[in-house]
Structure 1
Amino acid sequence: MAFHFSLFENLFVEPKSKEEMVLIEEDGESFEDALTDEQMREKALNQANDAKDEGNKLFCAGKYDDALSQYEIALQIAFEVQSSEEISSMCHANRAICFSKLGKYDETIKECTKALELNPPYLKALLRRAEAHEKLEHYEEAIADIKKVIELEPSNDQARKSLQHLEPLAAEKREKMKEEMIEKLKEMGNSVLGRFGMSVDNFKAVKDPNTGSYSYLISTLITYSSPGTIKKTKRKKKGKYL
């Protein structure tokens, strides 16, 4: 025992000056401060997890508004802690599904986006955002999210089935938007041609099979805008032609 005491005694070098003593004391204080910070961080993370777990219980009980409040508390605690991206992204994703249950799909999308900003490859957040986009008939956006899921996890059957379901809906919506645009252009055409007692109703829209675009109003306006045609139409009202 005496040998060991002597060995450790030889390893300790007494400070040669007051300055060295101060440095040793400061190093000790820094170690204690660092340890205290780590303990505080762990405590804060535990509190954030407790709030999240309470939110999960409330969610399972169908108390979605109360669950939202608990997840918000967890986020506020985690915000003050470094390296808390994981729990924060989970809380945002959980808030997203609460909003989805409440039918607030715009808020669902916002929360999922926040979760993905913290954790880009978060599959659940991508799937939930895609579902919310589908509810709002944002089919193109939903498809983009689903394709990202498949990119990250090619074996995800749920995502592949969703893609097969969404693509026809997106195509149908694009076609509907084109038809609505045609109607608006038709109204504009009628407002101009109406000055000459004409209408585009007797003309049929021609769809380009290659591009899917229509040439309806262009051909109609050219037909009616020639001076000869306008003159002929006017003369017809009088019952004779030149």
Structure 2
Amino acid sequence: MALIQQEETEEKVVNPSESAKTAKSSASSNVDDHKEASDGFETASDTELGSDAEDTHKEREQQHQHQELSNPPGTDSSEEASHDEELKQQKALAQANDAKLEGNKLFGDGQFEEALSKYELALQIAPDMPSSIEVRSICHSNRGVCFMKLGKYEDTIKECTKALELNPAYLKSLVRRGEAHEKLEHFEEAIADMKKILEIDPSNDQARRTIRRLEPLAAEKREKMKEEMIGKLKEMGNSLLGRFGMSVDNFQAVKDPNTGSYSISFQR
């Protein structure tokens, strides 16, 4: 299935120690990293995600010494504990972001299984708090891309669904999930994802064209499923009516053109 966005340009993966380098173009075209309008997030820079470990350690030592001097024994230290917890969360978020960037690089090298492991590591490290929603949703969506490359479309759907639970307006995850649904011939579900894209972006003509393309396929599949169901019902009916010397062929369904309802007539 064609991607919905006219040109889905993924974000660049930036290494803080090599800011002059850019990530491989093959990775940036498939893996999310920084902000796009469709993502609904602002990506924090690497410096915002966490300070240098040595500086952070010195800062904490200085604050701890200051706390000992300013607070006599027995003084409530809840403020210091809160600050320590915040530093721990910032460190965890920085580590999660680093793991995500490693996953992006592995994806660019075509090492999809290894990239999956790095994204999973990032998800395990990332603290469960509002500031980590971005990195968690991106990692789930990127895992979905990896599974797509590996032909594991059911897993793609699961990962993109998790990303959308964190960010319902994540257009890329809707696109990827819709593509996976189409690969599995889940045409109704794929159409539903395209309609959600139109709810978020009514000007998305690609989603509208995809719906028009999939609707005949969905109708054909519904008709096929209906015929299969009728066939199974006939087999069941014949097994029961055969005891009385009859079959379902003795019964005819007649449709009322005015109401659309059916009536059953018996024929010998």
TM-score under structure 2 length normalisation: 0.64
Q: For residue 175 of structure 2, what is the aligned residue in structure 1?
A: 127
Q: 2:145 aligns with which of 77, 97, 117?
A: 97
Larger fraction in helix = 1
Higher relative contact order (CA 8 A, sep 6+): 2
Larger Rg over CA atoms: 1
Deviation at residue 22 of structure 1 after TM alignment: 4.5
Deviation at residue 69 of structure 1 after TM alignment: 0.2
Deviation at residue 30 of structure 1 after TM alignment: 5.4
Distance (whole Å) between structure 2 residues aligned to residue 211 and residue 141 of structure 1: 30
Judge conservation of contact 1:44–1:77 (CA < 8 Å) in 2.
yes
Deviation string, structure 1 residues 96-132 (Cα, Å, up to 9, x no partner): 1111111111111111111111111111111111111
Deviation string, structure 1 residues 29-53 (Cα, Å, up to 9, x no partner): 5555444444333322221111101
1:1-242 to 2 correspondences below 5 Å: 22=71, 26=75, 32-79=80-127, 83-201=131-249, 215=262, 219=264, 222-224=265-267
Judge conservation of contact 1:44–1:81 (CA < 8 Å) in 2.
no
Quick one: structure 1 residues 24 and 60, their matched pair in 2 at CA, closer, same or farther if it must change by over 3 Å? same
Q: List runs of 5+ in structure 1 lacking aligned partners.
A: 1-20, 230-242
Q: Secondary structure at the match of 2:203?
A: coil
Q: List runs of 5+ in structure 2 lacking aligned partners.
A: 1-69
Deviation at residue 146 of structure 1 after TM alignment: 1.2
Aligned residues: 199
Quick one: structure 1 residues 212 and 86, their matched pair in 2 at CA, closer, same or farther if it must change by over 3 Å? farther
The letter of the residue matching 2:154 is: D
Quick one: structure 1 residues 212 and 48, their matched pair in 2 at CA, closer, same or farther if it must change by over 3 Å? farther
Q: For residue 66 of structure 2, what is the aligned residue in structure 1?
A: none
The letter of the residue matching 1:79 is: P
TM-score under structure 1 length normalisation: 0.70
